[in-house]
Structure 1
Amino acid sequence: MTDPVLKLAADLVAIDSRSFVSNIPVAERVEQELAGFELERLDYTDAAGVAKRALVAHKGPKGGYALSGHMDTVPATGWESDPWTPRLDQAGLLHGLGSVDMKGQVAAAVVAAQRAPAGIPVTLLITADEETSKEGARLIAQRSQLAKSLGLNGIIVAEPTSLAPVRGHRSHIAFTATARGVQAHSSTGKGVNANWKLVPFLVEMRKVFDRLRSDANLQDAAYDPPFSDFNLILDNHGTATNVTPARATALIKFRYSAKVDPAPVVAAVRAAAAEAGLELAEQREGFPPELPVDHPLVALGIALTGKQPRTAPYGTDASELQALAPCLVLGPGDVGLAHTPRECVAVQELLDAVPLFGRVLAAGVA
């Protein structure tokens, strides 16, 4: 892998930065590529006490456009090969955890920034915890003195869109409902199984799930699918089958677009949790970002790619970074391969992304 973008992408893939481990080794590798940039490190500790870092880098005059990507990945669920061994196959695909979401994207943005001619404003916003809390992007938007000082015209969030402009996407509310029981050997009859306390809540959540798919008032025809995601994960925290679980947790990610009022869903979840006597925690992203079709940043995306803008059902750091400047999502790769054990990115799209991002940066010259 001799091409700079492929080499950097492979180097980043080789470093484990799943969201529950520290991303600082990846950040340090990225920093090696930023000679000549003004660099701001935003270090923080996540909710589990893990050290994290977000980066803001800039060179040239103020203004212009920023390129953004995140350093964390999802867990390596289902992989049959080593997720952190980047592999280039004969079909021209780079394989590895994070290859398409998002280390290939970060590599393309960094190389494009390196190659930008003198006199062009160049900004990189490199985040952490995009796959979980969006905390890295939130920290940049709220606390980065460098980012706030630049007066950015717009931000390209480099997620996999097959190099087509995405003008809007959903944001999420994450619900965590917890039932408490009493742990004991299940044969003794002395335990209290927390799962039975959770069941009534789950029945009500299935009703919410069905309503989201049937009630047109909770749908948005501008998105595919038009109904909101309401994904349920259950966790007994490692309890064996001969032990009554002392804790049962239902985690729900509810995604909604700008035109959908989340209030009825939030009210239904809260009411069901209260009725079942469960603890309920909520974590929210920023408001769903969505630019109008005639927005100048969308027009730029159309002009540079020759492709029509669309919306996306997933979420990105744009939900937080939009507080700094309007955001357009645009990057190489197929999002359908993200979050799977088959994750890979077409090498040609990575290579094509570098001059495309370069043209975005060049468009920021006043």
Structure 2
Amino acid sequence: MTSPYELSVRAILERLIAFPTVCRTKNVELIDWVEAFLQGLGARCHRVPGREDGRFNLFASIGPDTPDGIVLSAHSDVVPVEGQPWTTDPFVLTERDGKLYGRGSSDMKGFLACMLVAARYAASQSGLSAPLHLAISYDEEIGCVGVHSMLHDLAARGFQARGCVIGEPTGLRAVSGHKGKLAARIVCHGLAAHSANPSRGCNAIGLATEMVKAIESLQEELKETGVQDAQYEVPYSTLQVGLIRGGVALNIVPDQCEVQFEMRLLPGVDPQPLLDRLRAVADRLCAERRHARIEIETLNTYPGLHTSDSASFLHEIMRITGDNAPSRIGFGTEGGLFREYLGMPVVVCGPGSIDRAHKADEFILPEELQDGVRFVEQVADMLSRS
């Protein structure tokens, strides 16, 4: 039987994918396995529980206890597979036609597997002058909610490092920025009545349509006159409505309608003025229509990431990747939170492609995994030269 400490990166990925760590479910079995693996290498491990039973973050360090180490970070959770037309078992790593299929293979257990290989590599080095840190979070896929307890704990302990690599799938391009996100809910309350005489009621769906119009108007304004950054595929901040629920029957004036929307904001763009604009519209509607009441609630938010193009840590990573300039990405990561809590430069860089994530038959190429291993081992080599 092969020792865990002799497993190839592919074999490690196979173990990780076998843990069905779907977001909003327990990840304790995966954390148990990873922690045992790291402790066998002599790592100093610190498990940080979340508020939910059976869900944990894990932070581990290898090497001297100095403030100039490097953090490699991955989330342990994956998105659900229900309703997707998989042609393989999503929780069994399956090779077919030169591809390795499995939920999380690209997003982002592939990088987590590379991290464990990097830890083994770092533990074998005798000349480390700074530590390699591994940060593993939970429930990233529902808005980066799980990592807060770990980052709060690290900040309270005065943790410092020279930089952090978030290994989301970028094709191993060095990324220095991404947008932030705010998710919110608008609940419109009216008054039910028979549809034969709708004027006796207050139509909550009608209120909701006005709020949707206000969101679309703000979107157009941001597109035309808002802050722009041409390095992003969509160079402006965006708002969009994703869910509407309202009404119980066609012949009843609806007394409630819920609208959920999101903002994808360029780094540094404050969502509060936009929310204030929407609340002003809601107040006007309530003043104009009897029985109307509108609530606006923020459900989740995380900041964008902006690492300065002049940051030395960014340039060290770019020397490894061979990038002449950093990239920007449209999807979010935990990077902005690492920056916000710990004040360190953050680079997003990992193997695989985000285009394969969250879909049926998600995969990573074997050569991408090996490239990921070479990348993290070169990052670990930085700790011997510091």
TM tier, shorter chain? 0.7 to 0.9
Alignment of 1:317 with 2:334, yes or no, is yes
Paired residue total: 360
1:212 aligned partner: 222
How far apart are the structure 2 equivalents of 1:238 and 1:345? 44
1:226 aligned partner: 235
Query: Does the Cα contact within 8 Å between 2:49 and 2:149 map onto a contact in 1?
Result: no
Query: Does the Cα contact within 8 Å between 2:94 and 2:102 map onto a contact in 1?
Result: no
Supply the AA of the counterpart residue of 1:278: I
Query: Does the Cα contact within 8 Å between 1:285 and 1:320 map onto a contact in 2?
Result: no
Supply the AA of the counterpart residue of 1:333: G
Which of 167, 170, 176 lines up with 2:185 in the alignment?
176
Alignment of 1:56 with 2:72, yes or no, is no
Which of 102, 107, 114 lines up with 2:108 in the alignment?
102
1:269 aligned partner: 278
2:360 aligned partner: 341
Supply the AA of the counterpart residue of 1:137: V
Query: Does the Cα contact within 8 Å between 2:47 and 2:57 map onto a contact in 1?
Result: yes
The offset of 1:237, in angstroms, is: 9.0
Query: Does the Cα contact within 8 Å between 2:143 and 2:302 map onto a contact in 1?
Result: no
Give per-residue Cα distances to partners, 1:154-198, cap 9 Å, x unaligned: 1111100100100111111221212346899999x9998753442
C-alpha spacing 1:185/1:9, structure 2 compared with 1 (3 Å): farther
2:310 aligned partner: 294
1:359 aligned partner: 378
Which of 294, 309, 312 lines up with 1:278 in the alignment?
294
Matches within 5 A, 1:25-174: 25-35=29-39, 36-46=42-52, 51-61=54-64, 62=66, 63-76=68-81, 78-81=83-86, 84-116=90-122, 117-120=125-128, 121-144=131-154, 148=157, 150-174=159-183
Indicate the SS of the match to 2:360.
coil
How far apart are the structure 2 equivalents of 1:53 and 1:317? 16
How far apart are the structure 1 equivalents of 2:77 and 2:252? 35
Alignment of 1:251 with 2:260, yes or no, is yes
Higher-Rg member (1/2):
2
Supply the AA of the counterpart residue of 1:300: E
Supply the AA of the counterpart residue of 1:57: A
How far apart are the structure 1 equivalents of 2:202 and 2:272? 34
How far apart are the structure 2 equivalents of 1:114 and 1:194? 59
Query: Does the Cα contact within 8 Å between 2:311 and 2:345 map onto a contact in 1?
Result: no
C-alpha spacing 1:356/1:148, structure 2 compared with 1 (3 Å): farther
How far apart are the structure 2 equivalents of 1:233 and 1:88? 34
1:303 aligned partner: 319
Identity among equivalent pairs (%): 28
The offset of 1:67, in angstroms, is: 0.3
Indicate the SS of the match to 1:32.
helix
Query: Does the Cα contact within 8 Å between 1:166 and 1:328 map onto a contact in 2?
Result: yes
Query: Does the Cα contact within 8 Å between 2:18 and 2:93 map onto a contact in 1?
Result: no
C-alpha spacing 1:201/1:150, structure 2 compared with 1 (3 Å): closer
Indicate the SS of the match to 1:34.
helix
The offset of 1:244, in angstroms, is: 8.2
The offset of 1:302, in angstroms, is: 1.3
Query: Does the Cα contact within 8 Å between 2:212 and 2:241 map onto a contact in 1?
Result: no
How far apart are the structure 1 equivalents of 2:369 and 2:282? 45
Q: Which moved more, 1:310-319 or 1:225-234?
A: 225-234
The offset of 1:138, in angstroms, is: 2.0
C-alpha spacing 1:278/1:7, structure 2 compared with 1 (3 Å): farther
1:6 aligned partner: 10
Give per-residue Cα distances to partners, 1:103-157, cap 9 Å, x unaligned: 1121111221122124431210111121223233222221137x94552111111
How far apart are the structure 2 equivalents of 1:350 and 1:242? 58
The offset of 1:270, in angstroms, is: 2.8
The offset of 1:210, in angstroms, is: 2.7
Supply the AA of the counterpart residue of 2:267: A
2:347 aligned partner: 328
Supply the AA of the counterpart residue of 1:107: A
* TM-score between both structures, scaled by the size of structure 1: 0.86
Give per-residue Cα distances to partners, 1:285-313, cap 9 Å, x unaligned: 45422112221111111110112311112
Unmatched 5+ stretches in structure 2: 1-5, 286-292
The offset of 1:93, in angstroms, is: 1.9
Supply the AA of the counterpart residue of 1:168: G
* TM-score between both structures, scaled by the size of structure 2: 0.82
How far apart are the structure 1 equivalents of 2:164 and 2:35? 20
Indicate the SS of the match to 2:50.
strand
Indicate the SS of the match to 1:131.
helix
